[in-house]
């Protein structure tokens, strides 16, 4: 007879990943001055949220793939579990016959979500929660699992179609690795709004693409799928930031590995068109300032080739030129990707950039957030509306859209 040695353990994955850090999404108030006169209007300046290294957790708290090397049977066990998960099997049994003692194996079974991440990270994203029961058998253990899932086969077919449509529309054969990676980052950031609601929401890619909201797991899993569809090698990274569980990506660009955190490149949940590049193509050294991960599980990222981008937030790209507000001095610049030249356009603190061929439209934070047109050639300015605006966007037909602070949406032909 089988000897029962463990009753059901319940592992709630939701409560873990819903804690994804979205520190970049908060905007701090740094300057608030009293108006000098009744006629003068004062508004709060924006500045990127400062972030710090986690102090309550460490990489030792994360699963390490070195255990796979010590016990290859654990990897084979994990692969068998993953195959069942990939078909949304709700109940199944897998045998384990390896080197691990019962206490160590028990810990790994409880941490099966993280282990599956290294077998197939996208499949791991299916998991809602699970419980299990194990019995000792000759030379090993028989483990019975019960899983529930965030998604299903029908939904995942829609995700597959969505990913392919992205590749068909935004990726061309002549694009280099950099532009492919940038296309993915920009697409995910503009598509998604970070969710800080109940832990049961926003975990799956299907929910992200259908509701346009999700947590870091959904951001990173969608980016992972899109990087692959764009012809890039990519990984899903699981770790900590701001003392909370977090997820992001590694991507290979021109032979070097870089981190991309699309969650933290999404400036603010209420600013759907705002893109930052502070966490785009980042090396290990920089990311270690505020992220923790088990380095041995992933490729090393050492290149500084794209450090020039990490000063960019509130960006808009026209052709090969990225127009951006500098995180360092709050001035507006234009960086030409083809010539690698950086040019200052104006000293104005200009947010919510929307750029046409000859001008930048923005909220001028040096002038009460008024809707302002800045001419690219000479930096001259023209106030278009003496009212604070936000969320500027120019569509393919040359129509400028923006919002006033009362929530009203407006548009005008350029």
Domain ranges of the chain: 3-18+57-149, 306-414
Query: Average pLDDT in the 64-88 region?
Result: 96
Tens of pLDDT, residues 332-368: 999 999 999 999 999 999 999 999 989 999 999 999 9
For 140-194, what is each residue's pLDDT tens digit? 999 999 999 999 999 999 999 999 999 999 999 999 999 999 999 999 999 977 7
pLDDT at 15: 43
Q: Reduce the secondary structure of the chain to three states and give it as a string.
A: CCEEEEEEEEEECHHHHCCCCCHHHCCEECCCCCCCCCCCCCCCCEECCCCCCCCCCCHHHCCCCHHHHHCHHHHHHHHHHHHHHHCCCCEEEEEECCCCCHHHHHHHHHCHHHHHHCCCHHHHCCEEEEEEEEEEECCEEEEEEEEEECCCHHHHHHHHHHHHHHHHHHCCCCCCHHHHHHHHHHHHHHHCEECCCCCCCCCCHHHHHHHCEECHHHHHHHHHHHHHHCCCCEEEEEEEECCEEEEEEEEEECCEEEEECHHHHECCCCCCCCECCCCEEECHHHHCCCEEECHHHCCCCCCCCCHHHHHEEEEEEECCEEEEEECCCCCEEEEECCCCEEEEEECCCEEEEEECCCEEEEEECCCCCEEEEEECCCCCEEEEEEEEEEEEEECCCCEEEEEECCCCEEEEEC
| Confidence at residue 18, expressed as pLDDT on a 0 to 100 scale | 45
Q: What is the CATH number of domain 306-414?
A: 2.120.10.30
pLDDT band at 55 (very low <50, low <70, confident <90, very high): low
Determine the pLDDT at residue 281. 98
């Amino acid at each position: 007879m089988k000897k029962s040695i463990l009753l059901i353990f319940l592992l709630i994955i939701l409560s873990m990943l819903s804690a994804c850090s979205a520190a970049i999404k908060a905007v701090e108030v740094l300057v608030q001055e009293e108006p000098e006169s009744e006629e003068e209007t004062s508004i709060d300046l924006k500045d990127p949220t400062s972030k710090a290294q986690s102090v309550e957790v460490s990489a030792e708290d994360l699963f390490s793939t070195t255990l796979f090397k010590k016990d290859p049977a654990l990897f084979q066990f994990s692969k068998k579990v993953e195959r069942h998960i990939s078909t949304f099997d709700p109940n199944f049994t897998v045998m384990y016959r390896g080197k691990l003692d019962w206490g160590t194996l028990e810990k790994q079974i409880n941490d099966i979500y993280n282990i599956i991440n290294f077998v197939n990270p996208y499949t791991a994203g299916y998991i809602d929660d699970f419980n299990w029961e194990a019995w000792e058998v000759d030379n090993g253990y028989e483990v019975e699992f019960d899983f529930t899932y965030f998604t299903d086969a029908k939904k995942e077919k829609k995700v597959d179609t969505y990913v392919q449509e992205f590749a068909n529309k935004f990726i061309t054969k002549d694009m280099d690795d950099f532009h492919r990676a940038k296309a993915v980052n920009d697409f995910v950031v503009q598509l998604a709004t970070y969710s800080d609601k109940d832990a049961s929401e926003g975990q799956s890619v299907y929910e992200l693409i259908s509701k346009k909201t999700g947590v870091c797991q959904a951001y990173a899993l969608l980016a992972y799928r899109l990087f692959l569809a764009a012809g890039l090698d990519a990984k899903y990274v699981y770790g900590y930031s701001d003392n909370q569980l977090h997820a992001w990506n590694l991507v290979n660009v021109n032979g070097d590995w870089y981190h991309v955190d699309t969650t933290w490149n999404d400036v603010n949940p209420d600013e759907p068109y705002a893109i930052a590049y502070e966490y785009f193509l980042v090396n290990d050294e920089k990311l270690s300032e505020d992220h923790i991960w088990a380095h041995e599980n992933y490729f090393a990222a050492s290149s500084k080739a794209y450090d020039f981008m990490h000063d960019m937030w509130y960006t808009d790209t026209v052709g090969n030129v990225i127009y951006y507000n500098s995180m360092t001095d709050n001035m507006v610049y234009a960086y030409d990707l083809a010539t690698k030249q950086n040019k200052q356009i104006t000293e104005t603190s200009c947010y919510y950039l929307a750029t046409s061929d000859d001008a930048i439209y923005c909220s001028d934070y040096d002038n009460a957030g008024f809707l302002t047109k800045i001419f690219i050639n000479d930096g001259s300015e023209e106030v278009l509306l003496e009212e604070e605006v936000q969320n500027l966007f120019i569509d393919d037909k040359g129509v400028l859209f923006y919002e006033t602070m009362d929530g009203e949406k407006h548009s005008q032909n350029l």
